[in-house]
Structure 1
Amino acid sequence: MQSILITGGAGFIGSNFVRYMLQNYPDVRVVNLDKLTYAGNLENLKDVEDNPNYHFVRGDICNQELVEYIVQKFEVDVIVNFAAESHVDRSILGPEIFIKTNILGTQVLLEVTKKFGIERFIQISTDEVYGSLGPEGKFREDMPLLPNSPYAASKASADLLCRAYFKTFGVPVVITRCSNNFGPYQFPEKLIPLMIINALNDKPLPVYGDGKNVRDWIYVIDHCRAIDFVIQKGKPGEIYNIGASNEWQNIDIVKLILKKLGKPESLIKFVKDRPGHDRRYAMDWSKIKNELGWEPIYSFEEAITETINWYIQNESWWKRIISGEYQNYYQLWYGERLKN
Structure 2
Amino acid sequence: MQNLGIAITGSGSAVPATFLDNQSLTQLVETTDEWISIRTGIRQRRLAKPSETITDLATAASRQAIAMAGINPHDVDLILLATSTPDDLFGSACKIQAQLGATKAVAFDLTAACSGFVFGLVTAAQYIRTGVYQNVLLIGADILSRWVDWQDRRTCVLFGDGAGAVVIQANEKDCLLGFELRSDGTQNNCLNLACTPEPTELTQGVKVGKGNFQPITMNGKEVYRFAVQKVPEVIDKALFRANLSVEQIDWLLLHQANQRILDAVRERLNIPEHKVISNLANYGNTSAASIPLALDESVRQGKIKPSDIIATSGFGAGLTWGAAIFQWGR
TM-score by length of 2: 0.32
Higher helix share: 1
TM-score by length of 1: 0.31
**Per chain length, whose mean CA-contact separation is higher, i.e. which structure has more relative contact order (CA < 8 Å, sep 6+)?**
2
Higher strand share: 2
